[in-house]
Amino acid sequence: MGLDLAITPDVIAAAHRSFNDNRGNLIARDAVTSSGIDAAARNPQAAALATTTFDVQLQQGDVTNQKHSGRCWMFASLNTMRFRIMKKLGLKTFELSQAYPLFWDKYERCNWFFENIIASADETLDGREIAYLLADPMCDGGQWDMFRSLVKKYGVVPKEAMPESFHSSNTHPMNQRLTRYLRGGAKRLRDAHADGADIEALRAIKAELMEGVYRFLAICLGEPPASFDVRIRDDKGELKASGTYTPQEFFAEFVDMDLDAYISVINAPTADKPYLHAYTVKYLGNVVEDGGVRYVNLPIESLKRAAVAQLKDGLPVWFGSDVGQCFLRSDGVLDPAVLDIDTLFDLPIEGCLDKAARLDYSESLMTHAMTLQGVNLDADGNPTRWRIENSWGDDRGKKGYDIASDEWFSQYVYQIVVDRKYLTDEELAAYDSEPIELAPWDPMGSLAC
């Protein structure tokens, strides 16, 4: 074996001398070992630019808190919907139940999982697709199209109609046990198929398994209400709404949102995903009869244009991003300039990959969903800063809100949801075209949690 393949004492001695001969290395070492990378790399001047007053600024209710769960996509979606209720009824704050869609998502996702297991029963157990299906079938994460499917089928309810339970706010133990049950069900279905069971027999097994799923979820979360009484008063004590509603009736009357008008727009500047094409992701979804997800891939400037237009019309914007990147959590600031990592280490760390390469080389993908509630514009009408409503409670960031620079939006926002009317005819035609199916493990199939 050649010495050039191994780390020798001479190599270590040279690295030691090089490190200690540089005064900047010693200062960086002392700072990082004492306070950590982010604190040592924090750029106070960039952090100070994060204003809390915006040219376009929507007023939302009290900040919500997803606690120890991966329900950000639900919280972000419900935050866009409660905004409509508050506006309609003149309320300062209001909250929709997040436990309610959690129950139905788990229930529907189990059915989706078993159907995919049946459909792939001829695949070998050691194949990549089966490994993908079995890897994490009961995670909390999701996307807008999946939430839209839930609301179209099940509606929404006020928080008091189905309040939080221990396991809606702390989902890991519940998910862990349910995942084991699903894997056991997958084995049962695959074994039955191998023994010659026909599709009717497999679906009979699935029906029995799904009965168990309902029992499990009802024990952990409680049963979702089929109807409920409503009494909503504003801050002056005036009764704004009363009566008995089903979840679908409540959504229709108080949210009053054309769900099918709101579509997903992504920005994936990779060579394998040309702009102005529609995409879907194999195996990604929850409600079987509503199908999977659909996106149109557009340049980032198109996402900004549509988001600004919807905000100017007085409605928040659901979006998905890689929230862990360039984020000063204590300050509530998202900006590539706030952490000067490359100067601290004198290495191309943040700067070694562009957005496309970060996707291609597994460095970045959508991890979290939030809502845009405001934007600052320059003299030419271009965005400079974005106001973001998070769902981590009001003790984080700027009383529950975060501020993102426009450069951070460019680099780390991957998806927005906007009304179709904010897209051009060319963009809409692309969205409505036959979608290209992406592999289940494609980064655009990541789930916000």
- Which pTM was predicted? 0.96
Q: Do 242 and 230 meet the contact criterion of CB atoms below 8 Å apart?
A: yes
Q: In this predicted model, what pLDDT tens digit does every residue of 54-84 receive, in sequence order?
A: 999 999 999 999 999 999 999 999 999 999 9
Q: With a cut of 80, say whether residue 290 has pLDDT above it.
A: yes
Q: In this predicted model, what pLDDT tens digit does every residue of 194-207 receive, in sequence order?
A: 999 999 999 999 99
CA atoms within 13 A on the CB side of 311: 28
Residue 347 DSSP one-character state: S
Best CA proximity match to 181, nearest among 141, 204, 208, 203: 208
Q: Under DSSP, is residue 200 helix (H, G, I), strand (E, B) or coil?
A: helix
Q: Is the pLDDT score of 2 beyond 70?
A: no
Rounded Cα gap, residues 428 and 332, in angstroms:
35
| Amino acid code (one letter) for 151 | V
Give domain status of residue 40, yes or no.
no
Q: What's residue 3's pLDDT?
A: 59
Question: What burial class does residue 164 get, using C-beta atoms within 10 Å of its C-beta: 0-12 exposed, 13-18 middle, 19+ buried?
Answer: middle
Q: Is residue 172 part of a domain?
A: yes
Instruction: Determine which one of 65, 72, 110, 220 is catalytic.
Output: 72
- The active-site residue out of 167, 175, 390, 449 is 390
Range of the domain at 85: 56-445
Which strand (E) or helix (H) includes residue 193?
helix 172-194
68 is catalytic: no
| In-domain check, residue 312 | yes
Q: Please check whether residue 250 is in contact with residue 112, taking contact to mean a CB–CB distance below 8 angstroms.
A: no
Pairing of strands 228-233, 383-389: unpaired
> How many CA atoms lie less than 13 Å away from 122 in the CB half-sphere?
3
Domain total of the chain = 1
Q: Catalytic: which of 220, 326, 368, 449?
A: 368
13 lies in some domain: no
Nearest to 416 by CA among 226, 74, 144, 225: 144
> DSSP class of residue 140?
S
Q: What are phi and psi of 139, to 5 degrees?
A: -65, 165
Give the chain's mean pLDDT.
96
Confirm if 98 and 66 have CB atoms less than 8 A apart: yes
List, in order, residues 6 or more apart from 160 with CB less than 8 Å away: 97
pLDDT at residue 221 tops 90: yes
Does a structural domain hold residue 151?
A: yes
Residue 48 falls inside a structural domain = no
Residue 43 designated active-site: no
CATH code where residue 350 lies:
3.90.70.10
- In a domain, residue 2? The reply is no
- Measured between alpha carbons, how far is 24 from 346 in angstroms, rounded to an integer? 9
Q: What are the beta bridge partners of residue 158? A: 96
Q: Is residue 216 part of a domain?
A: yes
- Can you list the alpha helix ranges (DSSP code H) found in 195-230? 199-221
Q: Which pLDDT tens digit goes with each residue over 333-380?
A: 999 999 999 999 999 999 999 999 999 999 999 999 999 999 999 999
Q: Is 368 a catalytic residue?
A: yes
